[in-house]
Chains A and B, each alone.
Chain A
């Protein structure tokens, strides 16, 4: 089976930085995704890491360490619109995605 863990909730102040950690133990690995999901809406793609290291995309960065089974999503210069759930997902051997339970981030003024 797949085991993907991430914190349930995080709160941060507008303009601050938040780091969401994700650890995984899966049968096979073909990359790790981060999705953003606003309440009642569909998840939308944020990032994809398949090699170790940091991928930066504007205010969002994602890091992967395959040997440690660890990833994080870094959100910088937080804005109120960043209040959402952030889903960590691992692509396994046949490229199916298994999801963590999601981290709800609340941004306060």
Chain B
């Protein structure tokens, strides 16, 4: 089983719908992240959390919200999806104690907004 699990893996939805992407991890890491990936733009940070009570905006947080329900769970919500939020979304974790910032990625969630 994957250490970082994302659900759903694929989702097609319509403009205006609310969407939640979920991430859970068994690595015991304290830090969790949500990135989106678009062709030619690389991975861009949406939100990150260094602990259960810590939530921080990344470089492209507009239109998104997150919830850190437990150390192992970090969900990303699109309150009202729009077509330019069509992308591949990755959840990732890192270990503060490692002092490097190395990220461990989930398998990705492909979201299409029509």
The 8 Å CB contact of A95, one of B35, B43, B90, B100, is B100
Q: How far is the CB of B31 from chain A (nearest CB, A)?
A: 8
Q: Does B94 contact A (CB under 8 A)?
A: yes
Q: Does B103 contact A (CB under 8 A)?
A: yes
Contact B100 A96 (CB under 8 A): no
On chain B, the residues within 8 Å of A101 by CB distance are 40-42
Binding site secondary structure of chain A: loop
**A contacts with B, residue count (CB < 8 A):** 23
CA distance A26 to B33 in the complex (A): 20
Query: Which B residues are closer than 8 A to A by beta carbons?
Result: 33, 35, 40-45, 48, 88, 90, 94, 96, 99-108
Q: Would you give 29 A-B contacts (Cβ < 8 Å), ordered by A?
A: A8-B40, A30-B101, A31-B101, A33-B101, A33-B102, A33-B103, A40-B88, A42-B90, A42-B106, A43-B90, A43-B103, A44-B105, A45-B103, A45-B104, A87-B42, A89-B43, A91-B101, A95-B96, A95-B99, A95-B100, A95-B101, A96-B45, A97-B45, A97-B101, A98-B45, A99-B43, A99-B44, A101-B40, A101-B41
